[in-house]
Chains A and B, each alone.
Chain A
Protein backbone atom coordinates (compact mmCIF):
# COMPACT_ATOMS: atom_id res chain seq x y z
CA UNK A 1 0.00 0.00 0.00
CA UNK A 2 1.67 3.19 -1.11
CA UNK A 3 -0.18 6.10 0.53
CA UNK A 4 -0.21 6.35 4.32
CA UNK A 5 -3.66 5.77 5.91
CA UNK A 6 -6.21 8.56 5.73
CA UNK A 7 -9.89 9.15 6.25
CA UNK A 8 -11.69 9.44 2.93
CA UNK A 9 -14.67 11.60 2.07
CA UNK A 10 -16.26 12.00 -1.35
CA UNK A 11 -18.79 14.85 -1.00
CA UNK A 12 -21.22 15.46 -3.85
CA UNK A 13 -21.84 19.16 -3.30
CA UNK A 14 -19.68 22.19 -2.57
CA UNK A 15 -21.24 22.98 0.82
CA UNK A 16 -20.50 19.50 2.08
CA UNK A 17 -16.86 19.82 0.99
CA UNK A 18 -16.52 23.23 2.66
CA UNK A 19 -18.00 21.88 5.89
CA UNK A 20 -15.39 19.12 5.87
CA UNK A 21 -12.65 21.69 5.30
CA UNK A 22 -13.99 23.80 8.18
CA UNK A 23 -13.88 20.73 10.38
CA UNK A 24 -10.46 19.39 9.43
CA UNK A 25 -8.55 22.48 8.23
CA UNK A 26 -4.90 21.75 7.50
CA UNK A 27 -5.26 18.08 8.43
CA UNK A 28 -7.18 17.69 5.19
CA UNK A 29 -6.12 17.76 1.56
CA UNK A 30 -8.47 18.21 -1.34
CA UNK A 31 -8.10 15.57 -4.04
CA UNK A 32 -9.00 16.92 -7.49
CA UNK A 33 -7.35 15.34 -10.55
CA UNK A 34 -4.65 13.85 -8.33
CA UNK A 35 -1.86 14.31 -10.85
CA UNK A 36 0.31 16.15 -8.30
CA UNK A 37 -1.14 15.05 -4.96
CA UNK A 38 -1.23 11.32 -5.68
CA UNK A 39 2.49 11.10 -6.59
CA UNK A 40 3.28 12.99 -3.38
CA UNK A 41 1.10 10.58 -1.40
CA UNK A 42 2.52 7.50 -3.15
CA UNK A 43 5.99 8.67 -2.15
CA UNK A 44 4.64 9.62 1.29
CA UNK A 45 5.93 13.14 0.91
CA UNK A 46 2.32 14.10 1.65
CA UNK A 47 0.49 12.24 4.43
CA UNK A 48 -2.86 13.97 4.87
CA UNK A 49 -5.01 12.61 7.70
CA UNK A 50 -8.14 13.39 5.75
CA UNK A 51 -8.67 13.26 2.02
CA UNK A 52 -11.60 15.20 0.57
CA UNK A 53 -12.18 13.84 -2.92
CA UNK A 54 -14.11 16.51 -4.87
CA UNK A 55 -14.38 14.52 -8.11
CA UNK A 56 -18.06 13.78 -7.51
CA UNK A 57 -19.02 17.47 -7.21
CA UNK A 58 -20.52 18.19 -10.60
CA UNK A 59 -21.07 21.90 -9.87
CA UNK A 60 -17.29 22.42 -9.94
CA UNK A 61 -16.95 21.41 -13.56
CA UNK A 62 -18.14 23.96 -16.13
CA UNK A 63 -17.01 26.44 -18.79
CA UNK A 64 -19.04 29.55 -19.52
CA UNK A 65 -18.75 32.91 -21.21
CA UNK A 66 -20.71 35.93 -19.98
CA UNK A 67 -22.23 38.72 -22.10
CA UNK A 68 -19.01 40.78 -21.89
CA UNK A 69 -16.85 37.89 -23.00
CA UNK A 70 -15.40 37.07 -19.59
CA UNK A 71 -14.63 33.38 -19.25
CA UNK A 72 -15.41 31.41 -16.10
CA UNK A 73 -14.11 27.90 -15.59
CA UNK A 74 -14.99 25.63 -12.66
CA UNK A 75 -11.97 24.50 -10.67
CA UNK A 76 -12.57 20.79 -11.32
CA UNK A 77 -12.81 21.17 -15.10
CA UNK A 78 -10.36 18.72 -16.68
CA UNK A 79 -7.51 20.25 -18.64
CA UNK A 80 -8.49 18.10 -21.61
CA UNK A 81 -12.07 19.41 -21.50
CA UNK A 82 -10.79 22.99 -21.68
CA UNK A 83 -8.53 22.09 -24.58
CA UNK A 84 -11.43 20.50 -26.48
CA UNK A 85 -14.04 23.18 -25.70
CA UNK A 86 -14.95 25.10 -28.84
CA UNK A 87 -16.01 28.01 -26.62
CA UNK A 88 -12.43 28.37 -25.41
CA UNK A 89 -10.92 27.79 -28.85
CA UNK A 90 -13.05 30.57 -30.30
CA UNK A 91 -13.03 33.10 -27.49
CA UNK A 92 -9.81 32.41 -25.62
CA UNK A 93 -7.28 31.11 -28.17
CA UNK A 94 -4.22 31.48 -25.96
CA UNK A 95 -5.71 29.24 -23.28
CA UNK A 96 -6.63 26.40 -25.61
CA UNK A 97 -3.37 26.63 -27.54
CA UNK A 98 -1.24 26.22 -24.43
CA UNK A 99 -3.27 23.36 -22.89
CA UNK A 100 -1.43 20.56 -24.77
CA UNK A 101 1.86 21.77 -23.24
CA UNK A 102 0.63 21.14 -19.70
CA UNK A 103 1.44 17.46 -19.64
CA UNK A 104 0.99 14.19 -21.49
CA UNK A 105 -2.59 13.59 -22.62
CA UNK A 106 -3.12 10.85 -20.01
CA UNK A 107 -2.28 13.46 -17.37
CA UNK A 108 -4.53 16.12 -18.92
CA UNK A 109 -7.43 13.65 -19.02
CA UNK A 110 -7.47 13.68 -15.22
CA UNK A 111 -5.64 16.89 -14.31
CA UNK A 112 -7.83 19.87 -13.51
CA UNK A 113 -7.35 23.61 -14.03
CA UNK A 114 -7.87 24.33 -10.33
CA UNK A 115 -5.55 21.57 -9.18
CA UNK A 116 -2.65 22.93 -11.21
CA UNK A 117 -3.26 26.48 -9.98
CA UNK A 118 -3.54 25.52 -6.32
CA UNK A 119 -0.54 23.21 -6.49
CA UNK A 120 1.40 26.26 -7.76
CA UNK A 121 4.43 24.56 -9.20
CA UNK A 122 6.59 27.47 -10.39
CA UNK A 123 7.41 25.63 -13.61
CA UNK A 124 3.75 24.96 -14.46
CA UNK A 125 2.06 26.70 -17.38
CA UNK A 126 -1.38 27.42 -15.89
CA UNK A 127 -0.24 29.70 -13.05
CA UNK A 128 1.83 31.66 -15.59
CA UNK A 129 -1.11 31.90 -17.98
CA UNK A 130 -3.37 33.13 -15.18
CA UNK A 131 -0.82 35.79 -14.28
CA UNK A 132 -0.47 36.85 -17.93
CA UNK A 133 -4.23 37.01 -18.42
CA UNK A 134 -4.81 38.74 -15.05
CA UNK A 135 -7.21 36.01 -13.99
CA UNK A 136 -9.12 36.05 -10.70
CA UNK A 137 -9.66 33.13 -8.39
CA UNK A 138 -12.87 32.66 -6.44
CA UNK A 139 -12.13 31.05 -3.07
CA UNK A 140 -14.90 29.74 -0.86
CA UNK A 141 -15.03 28.62 2.73
CA UNK A 142 -17.94 27.52 4.91
CA UNK A 143 -18.33 31.13 6.08
CA UNK A 144 -17.79 33.18 2.95
CA UNK A 145 -16.26 33.85 -0.41
CA UNK A 146 -13.46 36.09 -1.66
CA UNK A 147 -11.78 36.81 -4.94
CA UNK A 148 -8.00 37.00 -5.27
CA UNK A 149 -6.05 38.23 -8.30
CA UNK A 150 -3.46 35.93 -9.79
CA UNK A 151 -0.82 38.56 -8.96
CA UNK A 152 -1.61 38.25 -5.23
CA UNK A 153 -2.28 34.52 -5.22
CA UNK A 154 1.08 32.89 -5.90
CA UNK A 155 3.38 33.43 -2.89
CA UNK A 156 6.35 31.13 -3.34
CA UNK A 157 7.16 27.50 -4.25
CA UNK A 158 3.94 25.47 -3.98
CA UNK A 159 2.47 28.16 -1.74
CA UNK A 160 -0.56 30.33 -2.42
CA UNK A 161 -2.85 32.79 -0.63
CA UNK A 162 -5.43 30.05 -0.09
CA UNK A 163 -6.30 29.31 3.56
CA UNK A 164 -6.62 25.72 4.82
CA UNK A 165 -10.40 26.12 5.15
CA UNK A 166 -10.81 27.53 1.63
CA UNK A 167 -11.37 25.84 -1.70
CA UNK A 168 -10.79 27.30 -5.16
CA UNK A 169 -14.14 27.02 -6.94
CA UNK A 170 -13.92 29.25 -10.01
CA UNK A 171 -11.28 30.74 -12.28
CA UNK A 172 -12.34 33.93 -14.06
CA UNK A 173 -10.57 35.35 -17.08
CA UNK A 174 -11.30 38.94 -18.17
CA UNK A 175 -12.71 39.29 -21.71
CA UNK A 176 -10.22 38.48 -24.47
CA UNK A 177 -9.37 41.59 -26.49
CA UNK A 178 -9.38 41.25 -30.26
CA UNK A 179 -6.25 43.39 -30.58
CA UNK A 180 -4.21 41.15 -28.28
CA UNK A 181 -1.45 39.19 -29.91
CA UNK A 182 0.22 36.43 -28.02
CA UNK A 183 3.16 34.10 -28.02
CA UNK A 184 4.03 31.13 -25.86
CA UNK A 185 7.38 29.45 -25.64
CA UNK A 186 8.93 26.93 -23.28
CA UNK A 187 11.97 24.72 -23.09
CA UNK A 188 11.36 21.13 -21.95
CA UNK A 189 13.45 17.99 -22.08
CA UNK A 190 10.48 15.93 -23.30
CA UNK A 191 7.04 16.77 -24.66
CA UNK A 192 4.68 17.30 -21.75
CA UNK A 193 7.36 17.73 -19.10
CA UNK A 194 7.50 20.67 -16.77
CA UNK A 195 9.30 23.57 -18.37
CA UNK A 196 12.87 24.40 -17.50
CA UNK A 197 12.03 27.96 -18.50
CA UNK A 198 9.02 29.43 -20.27
CA UNK A 199 7.47 32.71 -21.35
CA UNK A 200 4.03 34.03 -22.23
CA UNK A 201 3.81 37.32 -24.13
CA UNK A 202 0.56 39.22 -24.57
CA UNK A 203 0.90 42.43 -26.60
CA UNK A 204 -1.59 45.10 -27.55
CA UNK A 205 -0.46 46.48 -30.90
CA UNK A 206 -1.97 49.54 -32.57
CA UNK A 207 -2.48 50.04 -36.29
CA UNK A 208 0.94 51.67 -36.65
CA UNK A 209 2.66 48.58 -35.22
CA UNK A 210 3.41 50.35 -31.97
CA UNK A 211 3.11 48.21 -28.86
CA UNK A 212 0.56 49.94 -26.64
CA UNK A 213 0.86 47.55 -23.74
CA UNK A 214 2.94 44.47 -23.05
CA UNK A 215 2.53 41.70 -20.56
CA UNK A 216 5.41 39.33 -20.29
CA UNK A 217 5.18 36.42 -17.88
CA UNK A 218 8.12 34.16 -17.13
CA UNK A 219 7.90 30.78 -15.41
CA UNK A 220 10.36 28.18 -14.14
CA UNK A 221 12.55 31.05 -13.01
CA UNK A 222 11.97 31.20 -9.24
CA UNK A 223 9.33 30.54 -6.61
CA UNK A 224 6.39 31.85 -8.65
CA UNK A 225 5.71 32.98 -12.19
CA UNK A 226 6.83 36.59 -12.56
CA UNK A 227 6.20 39.58 -14.80
CA UNK A 228 9.56 41.30 -15.32
CA UNK A 229 8.55 44.95 -15.03
CA UNK A 230 11.51 46.59 -16.73
CA UNK A 231 11.11 44.28 -19.70
CA UNK A 232 7.41 45.16 -20.01
CA UNK A 233 8.29 48.87 -19.81
CA UNK A 234 10.92 48.42 -22.49
CA UNK A 235 8.31 47.10 -24.93
CA UNK A 236 5.48 49.52 -24.14
CA UNK A 237 5.16 52.47 -26.48
CA UNK A 238 7.74 51.08 -28.90
CA UNK A 239 7.84 49.69 -32.37
CA UNK A 240 9.22 46.23 -31.65
CA UNK A 241 12.15 46.36 -33.99
CA UNK A 242 15.17 44.16 -33.86
CA UNK A 243 17.08 46.62 -31.69
CA UNK A 244 14.34 46.49 -29.02
CA UNK A 245 14.12 42.70 -29.15
CA UNK A 246 17.88 42.35 -28.79
CA UNK A 247 17.69 44.55 -25.73
CA UNK A 248 14.71 42.59 -24.38
CA UNK A 249 16.66 39.36 -23.96
CA UNK A 250 19.33 41.03 -21.85
CA UNK A 251 16.83 43.08 -19.81
CA UNK A 252 14.86 39.92 -18.97
CA UNK A 253 18.02 37.99 -18.13
CA UNK A 254 19.14 40.79 -15.80
CA UNK A 255 15.77 40.98 -14.10
CA UNK A 256 15.30 37.27 -13.37
CA UNK A 257 16.44 35.70 -10.11
CA UNK A 258 16.16 31.99 -10.80
CA UNK A 259 17.45 29.16 -8.64
CA UNK A 260 19.55 26.16 -9.58
CA UNK A 261 18.12 22.67 -9.23
CA UNK A 262 18.76 19.22 -10.66
CA UNK A 263 17.07 20.21 -13.93
CA UNK A 264 18.98 23.39 -14.76
CA UNK A 265 21.36 25.93 -13.27
CA UNK A 266 20.36 29.48 -12.37
CA UNK A 267 22.76 30.76 -15.01
CA UNK A 268 21.10 28.61 -17.69
CA UNK A 269 17.63 29.77 -16.67
CA UNK A 270 18.65 33.44 -16.75
CA UNK A 271 20.29 33.17 -20.15
CA UNK A 272 17.59 30.99 -21.72
CA UNK A 273 14.88 33.07 -20.00
CA UNK A 274 15.99 36.05 -22.06
CA UNK A 275 15.94 33.97 -25.22
CA UNK A 276 12.47 32.45 -24.69
CA UNK A 277 11.07 35.89 -23.75
CA UNK A 278 12.35 37.27 -27.01
CA UNK A 279 10.97 34.30 -28.95
CA UNK A 280 7.56 34.61 -27.27
CA UNK A 281 7.40 38.26 -28.29
CA UNK A 282 8.52 37.41 -31.84
CA UNK A 283 5.84 34.73 -32.05
CA UNK A 284 3.27 37.26 -30.82
CA UNK A 285 4.38 39.58 -33.60
CA UNK A 286 4.08 36.80 -36.13
CA UNK A 287 7.77 36.91 -36.90
CA UNK A 288 8.48 33.33 -36.00
CA UNK A 289 6.97 30.08 -37.11
CA UNK A 290 5.00 27.81 -34.80
CA UNK A 291 3.80 28.83 -31.42
CA UNK A 292 5.55 26.26 -29.37
CA UNK A 293 8.78 24.91 -30.78
CA UNK A 294 10.88 23.02 -28.32
Chain B
Protein backbone atom coordinates (compact mmCIF):
# COMPACT_ATOMS: atom_id res chain seq x y z
CA UNK B 1 0.00 0.00 0.00
CA UNK B 2 1.16 3.50 -0.71
CA UNK B 3 1.61 6.26 1.79
CA UNK B 4 -0.92 8.34 -0.16
CA UNK B 5 -4.48 7.62 -1.12
CA UNK B 6 -7.15 9.37 -3.08
CA UNK B 7 -10.43 9.93 -1.30
CA UNK B 8 -13.82 11.19 -2.36
CA UNK B 9 -16.12 12.78 0.15
CA UNK B 10 -18.81 15.38 0.62
CA UNK B 11 -18.29 18.29 2.99
CA UNK B 12 -21.13 20.75 3.62
CA UNK B 13 -22.85 19.53 0.49
CA UNK B 14 -19.85 19.98 -1.78
CA UNK B 15 -18.04 17.00 -3.34
CA UNK B 16 -14.26 16.77 -3.10
CA UNK B 17 -11.65 14.41 -4.48
CA UNK B 18 -8.23 14.76 -2.88
CA UNK B 19 -5.05 12.77 -2.53
CA UNK B 20 -3.84 12.63 1.05
CA UNK B 21 -1.09 11.09 3.09
CA UNK B 22 -2.61 8.15 4.97
CA UNK B 23 -1.42 9.44 8.33
CA UNK B 24 -3.14 12.81 7.98
CA UNK B 25 -5.92 13.27 10.53
CA UNK B 26 -9.33 14.29 9.28
CA UNK B 27 -9.10 17.53 11.27
CA UNK B 28 -5.82 18.50 9.59
CA UNK B 29 -7.28 17.53 6.23
CA UNK B 30 -10.28 19.81 6.70
CA UNK B 31 -8.13 22.71 7.85
CA UNK B 32 -5.02 22.40 5.71
CA UNK B 33 -6.26 20.77 2.51
CA UNK B 34 -9.83 22.06 2.24
CA UNK B 35 -9.11 25.35 4.01
CA UNK B 36 -12.10 24.83 6.30
CA UNK B 37 -10.39 26.33 9.31
CA UNK B 38 -13.57 26.65 11.33
CA UNK B 39 -12.86 23.22 12.78
CA UNK B 40 -10.49 23.99 15.63
CA UNK B 41 -7.79 21.82 17.18
CA UNK B 42 -7.21 22.09 20.89
CA UNK B 43 -5.87 18.98 22.55
CA UNK B 44 -5.63 16.70 19.49
CA UNK B 45 -6.32 13.64 21.57
CA UNK B 46 -10.07 13.60 21.96
CA UNK B 47 -10.55 15.45 25.23
CA UNK B 48 -11.46 19.06 24.43
CA UNK B 49 -14.16 18.62 21.76
CA UNK B 50 -13.12 21.70 19.71
CA UNK B 51 -12.74 19.59 16.53
CA UNK B 52 -16.24 18.05 16.70
CA UNK B 53 -17.86 17.65 13.26
CA UNK B 54 -20.73 15.58 11.87
CA UNK B 55 -19.64 12.37 10.14
CA UNK B 56 -22.59 10.81 8.30
CA UNK B 57 -24.80 12.78 10.66
CA UNK B 58 -23.11 11.73 13.92
CA UNK B 59 -20.98 14.04 16.07
CA UNK B 60 -17.38 12.80 16.20
CA UNK B 61 -13.91 14.09 17.09
CA UNK B 62 -12.21 14.81 13.78
CA UNK B 63 -8.76 14.68 15.44
CA UNK B 64 -9.33 10.96 16.16
CA UNK B 65 -10.08 10.02 12.58
CA UNK B 66 -7.80 9.72 9.59
CA UNK B 67 -8.74 11.57 6.43
CA UNK B 68 -8.66 8.26 4.52
CA UNK B 69 -11.40 6.95 6.82
CA UNK B 70 -13.71 9.63 5.46
CA UNK B 71 -13.56 8.19 1.94
CA UNK B 72 -17.20 8.03 0.85
CA UNK B 73 -18.45 9.91 3.91
CA UNK B 74 -20.75 12.89 4.17
CA UNK B 75 -19.36 15.50 6.55
CA UNK B 76 -20.64 18.71 8.00
CA UNK B 77 -18.44 21.31 9.64
CA UNK B 78 -19.28 24.61 11.31
CA UNK B 79 -18.97 26.32 7.91
CA UNK B 80 -22.05 24.39 6.83
CA UNK B 81 -24.36 25.90 9.45
CA UNK B 82 -25.03 29.41 8.16
CA UNK B 83 -27.04 29.96 5.00
CA UNK B 84 -25.16 32.80 3.30
CA UNK B 85 -25.37 35.75 5.68
CA UNK B 86 -28.14 34.14 7.71
CA UNK B 87 -26.90 32.58 10.91
CA UNK B 88 -28.09 29.15 12.01
CA UNK B 89 -30.51 29.44 14.99
CA UNK B 90 -27.83 28.04 17.28
CA UNK B 91 -25.26 30.55 16.07
CA UNK B 92 -27.76 33.37 16.57
CA UNK B 93 -28.56 32.11 20.07
CA UNK B 94 -24.83 31.92 20.94
CA UNK B 95 -24.44 35.52 19.73
CA UNK B 96 -27.45 36.80 21.64
CA UNK B 97 -26.51 35.03 24.89
CA UNK B 98 -22.81 35.98 24.88
CA UNK B 99 -22.07 32.27 24.69
CA UNK B 100 -18.66 32.91 23.20
CA UNK B 101 -15.78 35.08 24.16
CA UNK B 102 -12.57 34.01 22.45
CA UNK B 103 -14.60 31.65 20.26
CA UNK B 104 -12.05 28.87 20.12
CA UNK B 105 -14.34 26.17 21.51
CA UNK B 106 -17.45 27.49 19.75
CA UNK B 107 -17.38 25.37 16.55
CA UNK B 108 -17.15 22.21 18.65
CA UNK B 109 -20.00 23.30 20.92
CA UNK B 110 -22.15 24.22 17.91
CA UNK B 111 -21.64 20.92 16.11
CA UNK B 112 -22.20 18.99 19.34
CA UNK B 113 -25.41 20.92 19.95
CA UNK B 114 -26.63 20.43 16.36
CA UNK B 115 -26.26 16.65 16.67
CA UNK B 116 -27.69 16.56 20.17
CA UNK B 117 -30.81 18.62 19.34
CA UNK B 118 -31.46 16.53 16.24
CA UNK B 119 -31.68 13.44 18.40
CA UNK B 120 -33.18 15.07 21.50
CA UNK B 121 -35.30 18.00 20.29
CA UNK B 122 -36.68 18.88 23.75
CA UNK B 123 -33.94 18.10 26.25
CA UNK B 124 -33.98 18.90 29.92
CA UNK B 125 -31.21 21.14 31.16
CA UNK B 126 -29.59 18.13 32.84
CA UNK B 127 -29.56 16.17 29.57
CA UNK B 128 -28.12 19.18 27.79
CA UNK B 129 -25.37 19.65 30.37
CA UNK B 130 -24.42 16.00 30.01
CA UNK B 131 -24.39 16.29 26.21
CA UNK B 132 -21.92 19.18 26.25
CA UNK B 133 -19.74 17.68 28.98
CA UNK B 134 -17.30 16.48 26.33
CA UNK B 135 -16.57 20.03 25.21
CA UNK B 136 -14.26 22.29 27.16
CA UNK B 137 -14.60 26.08 27.34
CA UNK B 138 -11.93 28.02 29.18
CA UNK B 139 -13.24 31.57 29.08
CA UNK B 140 -16.96 32.24 28.64
CA UNK B 141 -18.04 29.57 31.06
CA UNK B 142 -20.81 27.11 30.50
CA UNK B 143 -23.85 29.01 31.82
CA UNK B 144 -24.32 31.25 28.73
CA UNK B 145 -23.66 28.28 26.44
CA UNK B 146 -26.40 26.29 28.19
CA UNK B 147 -28.71 29.33 27.94
CA UNK B 148 -28.00 29.69 24.23
CA UNK B 149 -28.72 26.06 23.42
CA UNK B 150 -31.89 26.15 25.50
CA UNK B 151 -33.01 29.25 23.58
CA UNK B 152 -32.26 27.59 20.23
CA UNK B 153 -34.19 24.53 21.38
CA UNK B 154 -37.24 26.71 21.83
CA UNK B 155 -36.83 27.84 18.24
CA UNK B 156 -34.73 30.96 18.88
B46 touches A1 (CB 8 A): no
List chain B residues, Cβ under 8 A from A106: 49, 52, 59-61, 112, 115, 134
- A38-B64, A39-B64, A105-B131 known; A8 and B28 CB under 8 Å? no
Per the bound structure, the CA–CA distance linking A39 and B116 in Å amounts to 24
Per the bound structure, the CA–CA distance linking A10 and B2 in Å amounts to 12
Question: Could you show 22 A-B contacts with beta carbons less than 8 Å apart?
Answer: A2-B23, A2-B28, A6-B22, A31-B66, A34-B65, A34-B69, A35-B46, A35-B64, A38-B25, A42-B45, A105-B115, A106-B60, A109-B55, A109-B58, A109-B59, A110-B58, A110-B60, A110-B61, A110-B65, A191-B130, A191-B133, A192-B133
Number of A-B contacts (CB under 8 A): 95
A39 touches B46 (CB 8 A): yes
Is A55's beta carbon under 8 Å from chain B? yes
A43 touches B45 (CB 8 A): yes
Per the bound structure, the CA–CA distance linking A43 and B130 in Å amounts to 27
- A4-B23, A8-B22, A106-B49 known; A42 and B44 CB under 8 Å? yes
A7 touches B59 (CB 8 A): no
Taking chain B's interface residues, is the majority helix, strand, or loop, or is none over half, making it mixed? mixed
Residues of A in contact (CB 8 Å), total 31
Is A190's beta carbon under 8 Å from chain B? yes
Per the bound structure, the CA–CA distance linking A1 and B61 in Å amounts to 17
List chain A residues, Cβ under 8 A from B69: 34, 53, 55
Chain B positions near chain A (C-beta within 8 angstroms): 1, 3, 5, 21-25, 28, 44-46, 49, 52, 55, 58-61, 63-66, 68-69, 112, 115-116, 129-131, 133-134
* Smallest beta-carbon distance B76→chain A, Å: 14
B25 touches A42 (CB 8 A): yes
B61 touches A107 (CB 8 A): yes
Chain A: CB-nearest residue to B111: A106
Is A5's beta carbon under 8 Å from chain B? yes
Find the residue from A3, A6, A106, A192 having the highest chain B CB count within 10 A.
A106
A6 touches B23 (CB 8 A): yes
Per the bound structure, the CA–CA distance linking A42 and B46 in Å amounts to 10
* Smallest beta-carbon distance B62→chain A, Å: 10
List chain B residues, Cβ under 8 A from A5: 3, 23
Is A176's beta carbon under 8 Å from chain B? no
A8 touches B5 (CB 8 A): yes
A91-109 interface mask toward B, CB cutoff 8 Å, 1 = contact, 0 = none? 0000000000001111101
